[in-house]
């Protein structure tokens, strides 16, 4: 069984290149708390592949799965006041391709 990476390298080496288009957005959400479903609803309406989130104001790092979407976030250490923080919303089928 050939991996996706091996298939992609084989296409590049053979001179064939397949274009993939992604719709990407950014959103300063000011806080992630209790907005998760609203964010996912807007994500679907905008029909994007990925939205980068700023000012999540979350503690620690985590992942929330909501239907066909995943919210990944990283904030301050648990012992600090919640501030700043970043994250993203992606379609669940892309999660394995990000890492």
Classify residue 3: in a domain, yes or no: no
Classify residue 7: in a domain, yes or no: no
In the chain, the N- to C-terminal Cα span, in Å, equals: 20
Counting the structural domains of the chain, the total is 1
Using CA of residue 34, residue 70, residue 82, residue 25, what is the dihedral sign? negative
Mean pLDDT value across the chain: 83
Q: Mean of the pLDDT values across residues 68-83?
A: 91
- The pLDDT-based confidence of 7 (bands split at 50, 70, 90) is low
Minimal CA–CA distance to 37: which of 63, 62, 71? 71
Domain range enclosing 92: 27-98
Classify residue 73: in a domain, yes or no: yes
Classify residue 53: in a domain, yes or no: yes
Q: Which of 2-11, 23-32, 60-69, 75-84 is predicted with the least confidence, judged by mean pLDDT?
A: 2-11
Buried b (16+ CB within 10 A) or exposed e, 62-75: eeeeeeebbbbbeb
Classify residue 17: in a domain, yes or no: no
Query: How confident is the model at residue 13, as a pLDDT?
Result: 53
Query: How confident is the model at residue 98, as a pLDDT?
Result: 66
Classify residue 15: in a domain, yes or no: no
Classify residue 70: in a domain, yes or no: yes
């Amino acid at each position: 069984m050939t991996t996706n990476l091996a298939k992609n390298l084989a296409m590049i080496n053979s001179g064939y290149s397949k274009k993939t288009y992604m719709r990407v957005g950014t959103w300063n959400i000011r806080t992630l708390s209790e907005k998760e479903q609203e964010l996912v609803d807007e994500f679907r309406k905008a029909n994007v592949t990925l939205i980068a989130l700023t000012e999540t104001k979350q503690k620690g790092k985590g992942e929330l799965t909501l239907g066909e979407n995943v919210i990944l976030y990283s904030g301050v250490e648990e012992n600090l006041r919640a501030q700043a923080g970043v994250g993203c919303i992606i379609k669940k089928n892309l999660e394995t391709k990000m890492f």
